[in-house]
């Protein structure tokens, strides 16, 4: 089976549609969404509807949570806050209810899925370095965990001899699929991941999409224009 793992869409419909198109062309059997469907981007409602329609499983991200539980906004900077308030005004009651009920974790076959980190996923920890990941790998019961949250595609493993993305059952892996709708690693192309469950091979995907269109839409709203510039820069 081929699994498509998408995360951090952040209201970017152009990037979401492109990632779904690629997943369809490659005949993915399942689509897993790791959360942060909304926040930052100009099309939160359309993205929630689309993710609901196509995903087999969807998780809660910190931005989804902040939109539906305003008491969880304290960790947000000024720009993220204004995007949360703007997003709240765009979402239907049905989409708000949907976001409120998303789970923090999910498992499928022997795979674990979370938005931020496998240990205490509701704390929204950022795993940027091997040190950040070490404690998490240690505590992890499953062999493989897919995460998003940092918007930086990364691969952490207990296997010191790891080459490429073929996963072994005797080692543990935390795979960050990056962000579909707001990449921050200096590469403006959308990012997500494919996992072949039979061959145990992970494949990172980067692809161009119409970021200029998304940036134009952001500039036509009250959202901070920095959010448009950031999409074109990829950081």
* Least distance to Zn ion, CB of residue 62, Å: 7
Asked if 8 is part of the footprint of Zn ion (rule: CB under 5 A), the reply reads yes
Helix (H, G, I), strand (E, B) or coil at 49: helix
* Least distance to Zn ion, CB of residue 155, Å: 19
Q: Between 167 and 227, whose beta carbon lies closer to Zn ion?
A: 227
Asked if 64 is part of the footprint of Zn ion (rule: CB under 5 A), the reply reads no
Q: What is the DSSP string of 10-72?
A: TT-HHHHHHHHHHHHHTT-SEEEE-S--SSSSS-HHHHHHHHHHH-SEE---HHHHHHH-GGG
Give the range of 2-10, 64-72, 133-141, 211-219 binding Zn ion by CB under 5 A: 2-10
Comparing every residue's Cβ against Zn ion, the nearest one is 36
Asked if 36 is part of the footprint of Zn ion (rule: CB under 5 A), the reply reads yes
Question: How many Å apart are CA 52 and CA 88, to the nearest integer?
Answer: 18
Q: Between 160 and 186, whose beta carbon lies closer to Zn ion?
A: 186
Instruction: Give the count of residues interacting with Zn ion (CB under 5 A).
Output: 2
Give the range of 36-44, 89-97, 132-140, 205-213 binding Zn ion by CB under 5 A: 36-44
Which whole-number Å values give the CA distances from 182 to 44, 169, 211, 214, 227, in the listed order? Answer: 13, 32, 10, 11, 9
Where on the chain is the footprint of Zn ion (CB under 5 A)? Answer: 8, 36
């Amino acid at each position: 089976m081929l699994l498509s793992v998408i995360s951090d869409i952040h209201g970017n419909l152009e990037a979401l549609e492109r990632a779904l198109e690629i997943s369809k062309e490659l005949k993915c059997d399942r689509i897993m969404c790791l959360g942060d469907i909304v926040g930052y981007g100009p099309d939160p409602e359309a993205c929630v509807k689309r993710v609901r329609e196509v995903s087999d499983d969807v998780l809660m991200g910190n931005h989804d949570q902040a939109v539906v539980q305003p008491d969880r906004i304290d960790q947000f900077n000024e720009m993220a806050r204004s995007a949360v308030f703007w997003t709240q005004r765009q979402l239907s009651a049905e989409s708000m209810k949907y976001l409120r009920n998303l789970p923090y974790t999910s498992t499928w076959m022997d795979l674990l899925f979370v938005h931020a980190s496998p240990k205490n996923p509701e704390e929204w920890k950022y795993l940027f370095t091997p040190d950040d990941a070490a404690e998490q790998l240690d505590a992890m019961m499953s062999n493989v965990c897919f995460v998003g949250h940092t918007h930086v595609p990364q691969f952490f493993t207990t296997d010191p001899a790891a080459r490429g993305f073929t996963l072994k059952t005797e080692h543990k892996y935390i795979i960050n699929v990056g962000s579909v709708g707001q990449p921050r690693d200096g590469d403006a192309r959308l990012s997500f991941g494919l996992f072949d469950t039979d061959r145990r091979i992970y494949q990172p995907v980067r692809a161009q999409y119409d970021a200029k269109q998304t940036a134009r839409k952001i500039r036509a709203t009250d959202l901070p224009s920095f959010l448009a510039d950031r999409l074109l820069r990829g950081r």
